[in-house]
Amino acid sequence: MSIRSSGRRTGAGAAALAIGASVLLVPTAAGTTHAEPLPPRPASSVDASLLHRSGTHVRARQGAPALPDDVSALSWLVADVGTGAVLAAHDAHRRLPPASTLKTLFALTALPHLPGSGRHTVTEAELDAVPDGSSTVGLSADHTYRVADLWRGVFLSSGNDAVHVLAAMNGGWDATSAQMQAKARALGARDTTVVSPDGFDAEGQASSAYDLAVFGRTGLADPAFAEYAATADAQFPGGTHADGSPTWTYGIENTNRLVTGQDGLGRYPGIIGVKNGYTSQAGFTLIAAARRDGRTLLATVMNPQWGGANAVYEEARSLLDWGFAAAGRVDPVGSLAPPAPPAAPPAAPPVVAAGAGTPDRLRVGAPMLYGLSAAFLAAVAALAGTAVLRRRRSEP
Protein backbone atom coordinates (compact mmCIF):
# COMPACT_ATOMS: atom_id res chain seq x y z
CA MET A 1 0.00 0.00 0.00
CA SER A 2 2.74 2.38 0.88
CA ILE A 3 4.46 1.68 -2.43
CA ARG A 4 1.22 2.14 -4.35
CA SER A 5 0.51 5.32 -2.47
CA SER A 6 4.02 6.58 -3.11
CA GLY A 7 3.67 5.74 -6.78
CA ARG A 8 0.44 7.75 -7.00
CA ARG A 9 2.11 10.75 -5.32
CA THR A 10 5.00 10.43 -7.75
CA GLY A 11 2.59 10.39 -10.67
CA ALA A 12 0.74 13.43 -9.32
CA GLY A 13 4.05 15.18 -8.78
CA ALA A 14 5.08 14.43 -12.33
CA ALA A 15 1.78 15.75 -13.62
CA ALA A 16 2.20 18.89 -11.51
CA LEU A 17 5.71 19.27 -12.87
CA ALA A 18 4.38 18.90 -16.39
CA ILE A 19 1.69 21.50 -15.74
CA GLY A 20 4.28 23.82 -14.21
CA ALA A 21 6.52 23.32 -17.20
CA SER A 22 3.65 24.07 -19.55
CA VAL A 23 2.86 27.29 -17.67
CA LEU A 24 6.46 28.41 -17.86
CA LEU A 25 6.59 27.76 -21.58
CA VAL A 26 3.38 29.57 -22.47
CA PRO A 27 4.29 32.96 -24.00
CA THR A 28 2.68 36.20 -22.86
CA ALA A 29 -0.20 37.61 -24.82
CA ALA A 30 0.52 40.43 -27.19
CA GLY A 31 0.77 43.83 -25.49
CA THR A 32 1.38 42.53 -21.95
CA THR A 33 4.65 43.17 -20.12
CA HIS A 34 6.67 41.84 -17.23
CA ALA A 35 7.91 45.20 -15.90
CA GLU A 36 8.37 45.44 -12.15
CA PRO A 37 5.61 47.46 -10.47
CA LEU A 38 6.63 51.00 -9.64
CA PRO A 39 6.99 51.77 -5.93
CA PRO A 40 4.24 53.98 -4.54
CA ARG A 41 5.00 57.68 -4.44
CA PRO A 42 5.67 58.85 -0.88
CA ALA A 43 2.71 60.56 0.70
CA SER A 44 3.15 64.29 1.24
CA SER A 45 2.54 65.86 4.62
CA VAL A 46 1.36 69.04 2.90
CA ASP A 47 -2.28 69.47 1.97
CA ALA A 48 -2.02 70.56 -1.67
CA SER A 49 -5.47 72.15 -1.54
CA LEU A 50 -4.57 74.51 1.31
CA LEU A 51 -3.10 77.20 -0.92
CA HIS A 52 -6.24 77.18 -3.06
CA ARG A 53 -8.23 78.44 -0.09
CA SER A 54 -8.56 82.16 0.41
CA GLY A 55 -6.85 83.94 3.26
CA THR A 56 -3.44 83.78 4.90
CA HIS A 57 -1.80 80.41 5.57
CA VAL A 58 1.14 79.66 7.83
CA ARG A 59 1.92 76.65 10.04
CA ALA A 60 3.97 78.20 12.81
CA ARG A 61 5.73 76.16 15.46
CA GLN A 62 6.35 77.39 18.96
CA GLY A 63 8.72 80.33 18.92
CA ALA A 64 8.10 81.25 15.27
CA PRO A 65 8.05 84.98 14.52
CA ALA A 66 4.72 86.57 13.68
CA LEU A 67 4.02 87.41 10.07
CA PRO A 68 4.64 91.07 9.21
CA ASP A 69 1.55 93.23 9.66
CA ASP A 70 2.54 95.82 7.05
CA VAL A 71 1.79 93.70 3.95
CA SER A 72 -1.18 95.05 2.00
CA ALA A 73 -0.73 93.15 -1.28
CA LEU A 74 -3.75 91.39 -2.74
CA SER A 75 -1.65 88.25 -3.05
CA TRP A 76 1.77 87.20 -1.77
CA LEU A 77 3.91 84.16 -1.06
CA VAL A 78 7.21 83.26 0.63
CA ALA A 79 9.06 80.06 -0.32
CA ASP A 80 12.35 78.25 0.10
CA VAL A 81 14.00 78.07 -3.31
CA GLY A 82 16.09 75.04 -2.47
CA THR A 83 13.28 72.76 -1.33
CA GLY A 84 10.32 74.44 -3.02
CA ALA A 85 8.51 74.57 0.34
CA VAL A 86 5.99 77.39 0.66
CA LEU A 87 6.49 78.91 4.11
CA ALA A 88 3.50 81.26 4.10
CA ALA A 89 1.08 82.72 1.60
CA HIS A 90 -1.99 84.91 1.18
CA ASP A 91 -4.46 84.16 -1.61
CA ALA A 92 -1.63 82.41 -3.45
CA HIS A 93 -3.74 81.25 -6.40
CA ARG A 94 -5.71 84.46 -6.90
CA ARG A 95 -5.53 85.29 -10.61
CA LEU A 96 -4.28 88.86 -11.16
CA PRO A 97 -2.55 90.80 -13.94
CA PRO A 98 1.19 90.10 -13.62
CA ALA A 99 2.68 93.07 -15.51
CA SER A 100 6.36 92.59 -16.40
CA THR A 101 6.93 89.79 -13.91
CA LEU A 102 5.53 87.64 -16.74
CA LYS A 103 8.83 88.29 -18.51
CA THR A 104 10.29 85.58 -16.26
CA LEU A 105 8.10 83.03 -18.03
CA PHE A 106 9.09 84.55 -21.37
CA ALA A 107 12.76 84.06 -20.48
CA LEU A 108 12.18 80.49 -19.27
CA THR A 109 10.58 79.74 -22.63
CA ALA A 110 12.81 81.57 -25.11
CA LEU A 111 16.23 81.76 -23.43
CA PRO A 112 17.12 78.09 -24.10
CA HIS A 113 16.55 78.71 -27.83
CA LEU A 114 18.23 82.13 -27.95
CA PRO A 115 21.61 82.02 -26.18
CA GLY A 116 23.53 85.23 -25.65
CA SER A 117 26.22 84.33 -28.18
CA GLY A 118 23.91 84.99 -31.16
CA ARG A 119 23.41 88.18 -33.15
CA HIS A 120 20.34 89.71 -34.75
CA THR A 121 19.56 92.70 -36.95
CA VAL A 122 16.41 94.45 -35.75
CA THR A 123 13.70 95.30 -38.28
CA GLU A 124 11.12 98.07 -38.39
CA ALA A 125 8.32 95.50 -38.34
CA GLU A 126 9.58 94.06 -35.03
CA LEU A 127 9.56 97.48 -33.40
CA ASP A 128 6.26 98.63 -34.92
CA ALA A 129 4.43 96.02 -32.84
CA VAL A 130 5.59 97.49 -29.51
CA PRO A 131 2.53 99.10 -27.89
CA ASP A 132 2.50 102.76 -26.90
CA GLY A 133 3.28 103.35 -23.26
CA SER A 134 5.70 100.42 -23.09
CA SER A 135 8.96 100.50 -21.21
CA THR A 136 11.83 100.13 -23.71
CA VAL A 137 15.60 99.76 -23.72
CA GLY A 138 15.98 101.83 -26.91
CA LEU A 139 16.52 99.44 -29.82
CA SER A 140 16.95 100.88 -33.30
CA ALA A 141 15.91 99.29 -36.59
CA ASP A 142 18.66 98.10 -38.94
CA HIS A 143 21.09 97.81 -36.04
CA THR A 144 22.70 94.46 -35.26
CA TYR A 145 22.71 93.49 -31.58
CA ARG A 146 24.25 90.70 -29.62
CA VAL A 147 21.51 88.51 -28.16
CA ALA A 148 23.05 88.92 -24.71
CA ASP A 149 22.41 92.67 -24.98
CA LEU A 150 18.80 92.01 -25.94
CA TRP A 151 18.36 89.84 -22.84
CA ARG A 152 19.90 92.55 -20.67
CA GLY A 153 17.33 94.89 -22.18
CA VAL A 154 14.60 92.50 -20.98
CA PHE A 155 15.89 91.88 -17.47
CA LEU A 156 17.29 95.30 -16.59
CA SER A 157 15.19 97.81 -18.51
CA SER A 158 12.10 95.61 -18.75
CA GLY A 159 12.20 96.54 -22.42
CA ASN A 160 9.14 95.51 -24.38
CA ASP A 161 11.05 96.34 -27.56
CA ALA A 162 13.61 93.67 -26.66
CA VAL A 163 10.81 91.18 -25.91
CA HIS A 164 9.20 91.79 -29.30
CA VAL A 165 12.50 91.29 -31.12
CA LEU A 166 13.36 88.11 -29.21
CA ALA A 167 9.84 86.74 -29.70
CA ALA A 168 10.18 87.30 -33.46
CA MET A 169 13.44 85.36 -33.36
CA ASN A 170 11.67 82.63 -31.37
CA GLY A 171 9.02 81.97 -34.01
CA GLY A 172 6.71 84.94 -33.64
CA TRP A 173 4.43 86.54 -31.07
CA ASP A 174 1.62 83.98 -31.19
CA ALA A 175 3.97 81.01 -31.26
CA THR A 176 5.86 82.37 -28.27
CA SER A 177 2.60 82.92 -26.37
CA ALA A 178 1.63 79.30 -27.00
CA GLN A 179 5.06 78.07 -25.92
CA MET A 180 4.84 80.13 -22.73
CA GLN A 181 1.42 78.70 -21.97
CA ALA A 182 2.70 75.17 -22.45
CA LYS A 183 5.74 75.88 -20.29
CA ALA A 184 3.55 77.21 -17.48
CA ARG A 185 1.38 74.08 -17.55
CA ALA A 186 4.44 71.82 -17.55
CA LEU A 187 5.68 73.57 -14.41
CA GLY A 188 2.32 73.16 -12.67
CA ALA A 189 1.53 76.89 -12.97
CA ARG A 190 -2.14 76.57 -13.81
CA ASP A 191 -3.30 80.09 -12.88
CA THR A 192 -1.43 81.73 -15.76
CA THR A 193 -3.00 82.76 -19.05
CA VAL A 194 -0.61 84.29 -21.56
CA VAL A 195 -1.93 86.82 -24.04
CA SER A 196 0.99 89.26 -24.33
CA PRO A 197 4.46 87.78 -23.65
CA ASP A 198 5.86 91.11 -22.47
CA GLY A 199 3.33 91.33 -19.63
CA PHE A 200 1.60 94.39 -21.10
CA ASP A 201 -2.04 94.63 -20.05
CA ALA A 202 -4.24 92.47 -22.26
CA GLU A 203 -7.76 91.17 -21.73
CA GLY A 204 -7.70 87.74 -20.10
CA GLN A 205 -4.03 87.81 -19.17
CA ALA A 206 -3.40 86.69 -15.60
CA SER A 207 -1.08 84.89 -13.25
CA SER A 208 -0.79 84.43 -9.48
CA ALA A 209 1.69 84.80 -6.65
CA TYR A 210 2.10 81.02 -6.70
CA ASP A 211 2.80 80.81 -10.42
CA LEU A 212 5.22 83.74 -10.36
CA ALA A 213 7.11 82.04 -7.54
CA VAL A 214 7.33 78.89 -9.68
CA PHE A 215 8.74 80.93 -12.59
CA GLY A 216 11.25 82.70 -10.37
CA ARG A 217 12.44 79.50 -8.71
CA THR A 218 12.76 77.67 -12.02
CA GLY A 219 14.66 80.55 -13.61
CA LEU A 220 17.20 80.77 -10.81
CA ALA A 221 18.23 77.19 -11.58
CA ASP A 222 19.43 78.37 -15.02
CA PRO A 223 22.84 80.09 -14.73
CA ALA A 224 22.19 82.44 -17.66
CA PHE A 225 18.76 83.48 -16.31
CA ALA A 226 20.21 83.95 -12.81
CA GLU A 227 23.08 86.10 -14.10
CA TYR A 228 20.78 88.42 -16.05
CA ALA A 229 18.36 88.69 -13.13
CA ALA A 230 21.10 89.62 -10.66
CA THR A 231 22.76 92.28 -12.83
CA ALA A 232 22.37 95.75 -11.34
CA ASP A 233 23.61 97.81 -14.30
CA ALA A 234 25.25 97.48 -17.69
CA GLN A 235 26.39 99.38 -20.74
CA PHE A 236 23.99 99.09 -23.66
CA PRO A 237 24.98 99.68 -27.31
CA GLY A 238 23.69 102.93 -28.76
CA GLY A 239 25.23 102.20 -32.13
CA THR A 240 26.64 98.94 -33.43
CA HIS A 241 29.04 97.48 -35.93
CA ALA A 242 27.94 94.73 -38.30
CA ASP A 243 29.06 92.09 -35.80
CA GLY A 244 26.92 93.59 -33.03
CA SER A 245 29.78 95.18 -31.12
CA PRO A 246 28.96 98.72 -29.96
CA THR A 247 30.23 101.89 -31.53
CA TRP A 248 29.10 103.76 -28.41
CA THR A 249 27.13 102.83 -25.29
CA TYR A 250 24.90 104.25 -22.60
CA GLY A 251 24.15 102.97 -19.13
CA ILE A 252 21.07 100.98 -18.20
CA GLU A 253 20.02 100.05 -14.67
CA ASN A 254 17.92 97.27 -13.23
CA THR A 255 14.42 98.54 -12.49
CA ASN A 256 14.25 96.17 -9.47
CA ARG A 257 15.06 98.57 -6.64
CA LEU A 258 15.97 95.81 -4.22
CA VAL A 259 18.85 95.01 -6.59
CA THR A 260 20.05 98.57 -7.09
CA GLY A 261 19.04 100.13 -3.77
CA GLN A 262 17.70 103.19 -5.57
CA ASP A 263 15.19 105.72 -4.22
CA GLY A 264 16.35 105.37 -0.65
CA LEU A 265 15.47 101.67 -0.33
CA GLY A 266 18.98 100.34 0.01
CA ARG A 267 20.12 97.13 -1.65
CA TYR A 268 18.55 94.14 0.10
CA PRO A 269 21.20 91.97 1.83
CA GLY A 270 21.88 88.85 -0.25
CA ILE A 271 19.57 89.88 -3.10
CA ILE A 272 19.91 87.81 -6.31
CA GLY A 273 17.03 89.23 -8.44
CA VAL A 274 14.47 88.45 -9.91
CA LYS A 275 11.91 90.75 -11.70
CA ASN A 276 9.54 93.62 -11.03
CA GLY A 277 6.62 95.03 -12.98
CA TYR A 278 4.00 97.73 -13.20
CA THR A 279 0.95 98.50 -15.31
CA SER A 280 -2.13 100.54 -14.59
CA GLN A 281 -4.24 97.38 -14.29
CA ALA A 282 -1.75 95.22 -12.42
CA GLY A 283 -0.38 97.81 -10.07
CA PHE A 284 3.09 97.02 -8.77
CA THR A 285 4.26 93.40 -8.86
CA LEU A 286 7.52 91.79 -7.81
CA ILE A 287 9.42 88.51 -7.61
CA ALA A 288 12.42 88.91 -5.29
CA ALA A 289 14.97 86.32 -4.14
CA ALA A 290 17.82 86.53 -1.64
CA ARG A 291 20.45 84.15 -0.27
CA ARG A 292 21.75 84.14 3.31
CA ASP A 293 23.65 81.55 5.34
CA GLY A 294 23.17 78.84 2.74
CA ARG A 295 19.42 79.41 2.33
CA THR A 296 17.72 81.03 -0.65
CA LEU A 297 14.25 82.46 -0.18
CA LEU A 298 11.86 83.95 -2.69
CA ALA A 299 8.91 86.29 -2.19
CA THR A 300 6.22 87.31 -4.65
CA VAL A 301 4.08 90.39 -4.06
CA MET A 302 1.14 91.43 -6.24
CA ASN A 303 -0.52 94.83 -6.10
CA PRO A 304 -0.01 96.43 -2.67
CA GLN A 305 -3.08 98.40 -1.63
CA TRP A 306 -1.35 101.24 0.14
CA GLY A 307 1.92 103.10 -0.12
CA GLY A 308 3.60 104.47 -3.20
CA ALA A 309 5.92 102.96 -5.80
CA ASN A 310 8.25 101.62 -3.10
CA ALA A 311 5.54 99.67 -1.26
CA VAL A 312 6.02 96.50 -3.30
CA TYR A 313 9.72 96.46 -2.38
CA GLU A 314 9.13 97.26 1.27
CA GLU A 315 6.54 94.50 1.57
CA ALA A 316 8.84 92.00 -0.18
CA ARG A 317 11.62 93.04 2.19
CA SER A 318 9.37 92.40 5.21
CA LEU A 319 8.36 88.98 3.90
CA LEU A 320 11.95 87.93 3.16
CA ASP A 321 13.08 89.13 6.59
CA TRP A 322 10.32 87.06 8.17
CA GLY A 323 11.24 84.02 6.11
CA PHE A 324 14.88 84.09 7.17
CA ALA A 325 13.90 84.63 10.81
CA ALA A 326 11.41 81.73 10.64
CA ALA A 327 14.00 79.17 9.52
CA GLY A 328 13.17 75.83 11.13
CA ARG A 329 10.19 77.29 12.97
CA VAL A 330 7.41 76.83 10.43
CA ASP A 331 6.09 73.84 8.52
CA PRO A 332 5.30 74.08 4.79
CA VAL A 333 1.84 75.05 3.65
CA GLY A 334 2.49 73.99 0.07
CA SER A 335 5.16 73.26 -2.51
CA LEU A 336 6.44 74.88 -5.70
CA ALA A 337 7.77 71.55 -6.99
CA PRO A 338 6.50 70.71 -10.49
CA PRO A 339 4.11 67.77 -10.90
CA ALA A 340 5.69 64.36 -11.39
CA PRO A 341 5.88 63.44 -15.08
CA PRO A 342 3.69 60.54 -16.19
CA ALA A 343 5.41 57.18 -16.01
CA ALA A 344 6.78 56.03 -19.36
CA PRO A 345 5.19 52.84 -20.69
CA PRO A 346 7.46 49.81 -20.27
CA ALA A 347 9.43 48.81 -23.32
CA ALA A 348 8.00 45.98 -25.42
CA PRO A 349 9.95 42.69 -25.32
CA PRO A 350 12.47 42.44 -28.17
CA VAL A 351 11.45 40.53 -31.25
CA VAL A 352 14.13 38.56 -33.05
CA ALA A 353 13.50 38.60 -36.79
CA ALA A 354 14.45 35.77 -39.10
CA GLY A 355 17.98 36.21 -40.36
CA ALA A 356 18.94 38.51 -37.49
CA GLY A 357 21.85 36.34 -36.44
CA THR A 358 20.09 33.49 -34.59
CA PRO A 359 20.21 30.09 -36.44
CA ASP A 360 16.77 28.92 -37.52
CA ARG A 361 17.16 25.69 -35.56
CA LEU A 362 17.51 27.76 -32.31
CA ARG A 363 14.58 30.05 -33.00
CA VAL A 364 11.53 29.12 -30.91
CA GLY A 365 8.23 30.84 -31.71
CA ALA A 366 4.93 30.82 -29.83
CA PRO A 367 3.42 27.85 -31.78
CA MET A 368 6.51 25.74 -31.07
CA LEU A 369 6.39 26.64 -27.37
CA TYR A 370 2.77 25.59 -27.16
CA GLY A 371 3.56 22.40 -29.08
CA LEU A 372 6.48 21.50 -26.83
CA SER A 373 4.41 22.22 -23.75
CA ALA A 374 1.54 20.01 -24.85
CA ALA A 375 3.85 17.22 -26.01
CA PHE A 376 5.79 17.25 -22.76
CA LEU A 377 2.60 17.15 -20.70
CA ALA A 378 1.18 14.27 -22.74
CA ALA A 379 4.40 12.25 -22.52
CA VAL A 380 4.68 12.62 -18.75
CA ALA A 381 1.01 11.74 -18.30
CA ALA A 382 1.41 8.64 -20.47
CA LEU A 383 4.44 7.50 -18.50
CA ALA A 384 2.65 8.05 -15.20
CA GLY A 385 -0.38 6.11 -16.45
CA THR A 386 1.81 3.18 -17.62
CA ALA A 387 3.55 3.01 -14.24
CA VAL A 388 0.24 2.92 -12.37
CA LEU A 389 -1.16 0.20 -14.69
CA ARG A 390 1.91 -2.00 -14.20
CA ARG A 391 1.68 -1.71 -10.42
CA ARG A 392 -1.98 -2.65 -10.44
CA ARG A 393 -1.23 -5.76 -12.49
CA SER A 394 1.48 -6.80 -10.08
CA GLU A 395 -0.78 -6.64 -6.99
CA PRO A 396 -1.90 -10.04 -5.58
Full DSSP string of 235-302? EEEEEE-TTS-EEEEEEEE-S-HHHH-TTTT-PPTTEEEEEEEEETTTEEEEEEEEEETTEEEEEEEE
158 is catalytic: yes
Query: What's phi and psi for 5, nearest 5 deg?
Result: -65, -45
183 is catalytic: no
Spatial CA neighbour of 189 closest among 290, 57, 77, 323: 77
At 213, which amino acid appears? Answer: A
Q: Which of helix, strand or coil describes residue 24?
A: helix
Active-site residue, 103 included: yes
CA dist 349 → 31, 345, 356 (Å): 9, 12, 16
Selected catalytic residue, list 75, 103, 135, 196: 103
Cα–Cα dist 61/171, whole Å: 50
Catalytic residue among 22, 100, 157, 177: 100
- Of the listed 158, 196, 207, 373, which one is catalytic? 158
Contact between residue 138 and residue 132 where contact means Cβ atoms under 8 Å apart: no
Q: If DSSP codes are grouped into helix, strand and coil, which group holds residue 337?
A: coil
Pair 149, 120: CB distance under 8 Å: no
Residue 194 CA to residue 104 CA, distance in Å, equals 12
Nearest Cα residue to 278 out of 30, 87, 146, 96: 96
Give CA–CA dist 199/282, Å, rounded: 10
Cα-based distances in Å from 117 to 98, 113, 120:
30, 11, 10
Residues designated as active site: 100, 103, 158
